[in-house]
Each structure stands twice: as structure tokens, then as C-alpha cells.
Amino acid sequence: MSSWKALDQFTSKLVYRIASDKYRSFVFVYLNWEKVVGGLLAEKSYPIKFEKNVLYVAVANSSWMQELILMKMSIIRKYEVEHSTKIRDIVFLIRS
């Protein structure tokens, strides 16, 4: 195992430990965002809140928002199938 991978695993464990139960789901969603949407979309968007199984995502502009809206059901399915996280809906907000 490379030292970078070990550091990444240590950092993830530390973040989960610091996050209380209230924020644990958000931290999980946030840390896995790039794996779910891919690198390009992760550069243009990021989760800002996860409350009552609704994910709120900040997006760079309306073009990227449209792309994510088209992928909404796929994103929800990936979180449910690959990460066992229930997401009822995703709300996209434009942020600069």
C-alpha cells in the first residue's frame, strides 16, 4: 500500500470519527461525490447539505446543472446500489 493511500484512508477515518451521527451521512456523500459523478462533474459541483435524505448540490452554472439534472436518477441509483445510501431527491443550486 502506498503511503498516499494509507494517508487517504487515515484522513477518511479521522473525518468520520470527528463527524457526529448528524453529519456522518453528509460526509459519506461528500467524500464519494467524485466516484459517483466522475471527475469533470465533480470539478463543477459539490454537495453542500444532506438533510432528510435530500441531497443539495452546488453547481457552477446552468449548463452543468442541466447535465446533472439529466443524471439525477443515475446518481441516486449509484449511491443506493454502490454505497447503500438512501437519497430521496437531489436539489441543484447555482453557486459561483
pTM: 0.80
Domain contains 16: no
Note the pLDDT of residue 62: 96
Please name the helix (run of DSSP H) or strand (run of DSSP E) that holds residue 94, with its range, or none: strand 89-94
**C-beta neighbour count of 87 within 10 angstroms:** 19
- In the chain, the N- to C-terminal Cα span, in Å, equals 38
Structural domain span for residue 61: 21-94
Mean pLDDT of 70-93: 94
Q: What CATH number is attached to the domain comprising 26?
A: 3.30.70
Q: Give 24-77 pLDDT, tens digit per residue.
A: 788 889 989 999 999 999 999 999 999 999 999 999 999 999 999 999 999 999
Domain contains 4: no
Note the pLDDT of residue 52: 93
Domain contains 85: yes
Domain contains 14: no
Taking each helix axis from N to C end, the angle separating 3-18 and 21-31, rounded to the nearest 10 degrees, works out to: 150
Residue found by looking up cell 470519527 in the block: 17
Mean pLDDT of 73-95: 93
Domain contains 27: yes
Report the C-alpha gap between 85 and 87 in whole angstroms: 6
Domain total of the chain = 1
Note the pLDDT of residue 89: 98
